[in-house]
A and B are shown apart, each in its own frame.
Chain A
């Protein structure tokens, strides 16, 4: 995708988001008391103003791509990589790691969940130092646990399986 096409898409996206906010999200998810006398003091005023401005900026972004001095239409927006499909799979993998970490924090505790997240991430990004990665995956969460639990007094979630002192 070129920089120009990206900017156009971004502008259209901003206009759509603004429309969605004005027509659906703000009326549905922003409550206001019925006795507000002045529109300026209403809880709706600020979100509507921001949504309106977002729409205007979106139109500006679209318009800027048609100007002679707009974003370059020959340059790619981002440097291409050799393996885009595996890249997407890795991104999906990180998303899965994040979701699993959230789930596992409650089940097995933050330290063990972090160890798994560390190791999984290191192998996902194809580390050239697998042994160091495994040692760090154990050591880093433990050091952080000692600091936060015993120095900072944070109640680090422990889970049900193995509880740390």
Chain B
């Protein structure tokens, strides 16, 4: 099928009001979800997921992508106004956004955040369209040994989402791997940790685990400290962003977008490191570097370009290899699975209409985001007014309905509650949940491909180094481990010097 044929197939799939409406509504949900501190884009995507079950695959996935993209931008609103990032990716936006708000320039900072986000989003989406197909055609040459080494490499990058402690991140990942072993054995079909309960034979429901891990701990945290969220929002101020501001920051926006595309296409790194790298590069190269940290509009532009540049690029490994680029795309995989779609190279052959439909939807999402973001900046004061102690019980009820709807099974609701307590204990013990979820998804793939490779080679381990692709991933894994060890040692050096 030629490029034009694929494009036409995609257009025929999304060329209806329903698909674009889903994208539009998704962006609104995302912006609101991202703008409510403690809600986060991840939670917004997780809570929206059950609503996609009854939709056409393309419509449901566009809804989730809208939530994802809206959520990443929405996180910048509380970061600038109340110094609380709505999503971890917006942490870097605080550095200059909040000082601007303190100077009465919140409207200007938010305007720049929106323009930078939309520009970066467009760059990221174009990169996805350019590179995903190429990577997928390359990935068709992959067999079990190649996939095993790829997934092993993806697991090492969990270090990037481990937060303050690599060891606690590793522990989280191991818990995820352990939980993924529950169910029937992949090769022999024997029981593993099923305790004789037929409900456990298919393994733990992915949606129940992820909603339990990300949404329910917020309910429990609210029960522990009901007034912990109280804070004050700031006014937007009279000054607004100008085209001159945008032009002056354009170089930093493009640089940040490209940093986001590069880091986003590597599974596991996520938006926060990209935002900080983009910010530090902008600061290093700016003529106004002394203003950074004191309310420099270029700093806001760089941080937002860095985190939004990731949003399209994280879909490159998801669509081309079937490997989630970050936690949110790990959740979006759930939507693909629910609709019987398996992201990966074969999808570019079997479901090319969906792939191109998504590409078209993503390009349109950048335009929608500009429109919705402009309104959201003015409307945030109303969103912030939703009492959190009403919002949280609503989240609980939404979780109950959403998780039940996956399999029409009350057992899954119980799994969600249990995982909620696990997630809350992890939160209290500073164990990051992201490695858990990524390992829970990748664990069965890793084991399955490893055992298939061993079956293919009659247990000869040399099959795992059978060609250039496996060599590449082994080398990438080694480099990744080297970088992690180096970073840890550097961290130790800094701590000892202090």
Contacts and interface: CB of A to CB of B under 8 A. Distances in A.
Contacts of A6: 429-430
A29 B195 contact: yes
Contacts of B389: 122, 125-129, 133
A16 interface: no
Interface stretch (B64-72, B115-123, B347-355, B391-399): B391-399
A13 B195 CA distance: 23
Nearest to A135: B390
Interface string A46-68: 11001101100110110010011
Given A81-B228, A118-B396, A57 B171 contact: yes
Interface in B413-455: 413-414, 417, 420-421, 428-431, 447, 451, 454-455
A129 B387 contact: yes
B51 A152 contact: yes
A164 interface: no
Contacts of A36: 188
- Greatest chain B CB density within 10 A among A41, A68, A129, A157 is at A41
A23 interface: no
A46 to B, nearest CB: 5
B428 A110 contact: no
Interface in A27-45: 29-33, 36, 38, 40-41, 43
A57 B71 CA distance: 34
B178 A47 contact: yes
Contact of B54 (A57, A102, A153): A153
A164 to B, nearest CB: 13
Which has the most chain A C-beta neighbours within 10 Å: B51, B168, B408, B492? B168
Nearest to A29: B193
Contacts of B451: 40-41
A57 B174 contact: yes
B222 interface: yes
Interface centre among A14, A41, A119, A121 (most CB of B within 10 A): A121
B167 A156 contact: no
Given A29-B195, A81-B225, A129-B390, A50 B177 contact: yes
B397 A69 contact: no
A10 B168 contact: yes
Contacts of A10: 168, 171, 429, 431
Nearest to B429: A10
B8 to A, nearest CB: 31
Contact of A77 (B51, B430, B496): B430
Main secondary structure of the interface of B (DSSP, over half): helix
B178 A118 contact: no
Nearest to A127: B389
Contacts, number: 194
B410 A31 contact: no
B170 A57 contact: yes
Contact of A61 (B167, B194, B394, B495): B167
Interface in B190-204: 190-195
Contact of B223 (A110, A125, A141, A153): A125
A16 B134 CA distance: 47
Interface string B218-233: 0110111110100000
Interface string B168-191: 101100110110010001011011
A3 to B, nearest CB: 7
A33 B190 contact: yes
Given A105-B413, A128-B387, A154 B397 contact: no
Contacts of B165: 7, 64, 71
Interface string B487-498: 000011001100
A152 B167 contact: no
Contacts of B400: 101, 105, 110, 114, 117
Contacts of A157: 404, 410
Contacts of B177: 50
Given A81-B225, A129-B387, A118 B394 contact: yes
Interface string B50-66: 11011000000000000
A94 interface: yes
Contact of A87 (B190, B224, B495): B224
Given A30-B193, A129-B387, A147-B51, A90 B226 contact: yes
Contact of B225 (A14, A87, A118): A87
A74 interface: no
A24 B454 CA distance: 28
B396 A117 contact: yes
Given A43-B185, A57-B171, A68 B496 contact: yes
A38 B404 contact: no
Nearest to B396: A121
Given A46-B181, A50-B178, A94 B397 contact: no
Contact of B410 (A67, A102, A114, A145): A102
Contact of B404 (A29, A31, A118, A156): A156
Given A38-B454, A90-B223, A124-B223, A102 B496 contact: no
Q: Which 10 A-B pairs have the closest CB atoms?
A: A152-B54, A69-B495, A43-B185, A121-B393, A127-B389, A31-B190, A125-B226, A90-B223, A144-B401, A118-B393
Interface of A: 3, 6-7, 10, 14, 21, 25, 29-33, 36, 38, 40-41, 43, 46-47, 50-51, 53-54, 57-58, 60-61, 64, 67-69, 71, 77-78, 81, 87, 90-91, 93-95, 98, 101-102, 105-106, 110, 114, 117-119, 121-122, 124-129, 132-133, 136-137, 140-141, 144-145, 147-148, 151-157
Given A3-B430, A33-B190, 4 more contacts: A29-B192, A87-B224, A102-B413, A127-B387
24 contacts: A7-B168, A10-B429, A10-B431, A21-B178, A25-B193, A30-B190, A31-B191, A33-B190, A69-B496, A81-B228, A93-B223, A98-B417, A101-B400, A117-B393, A121-B219, A125-B393, A127-B387, A133-B390, A137-B393, A144-B397, A144-B398, A144-B401, A147-B51, A148-B405
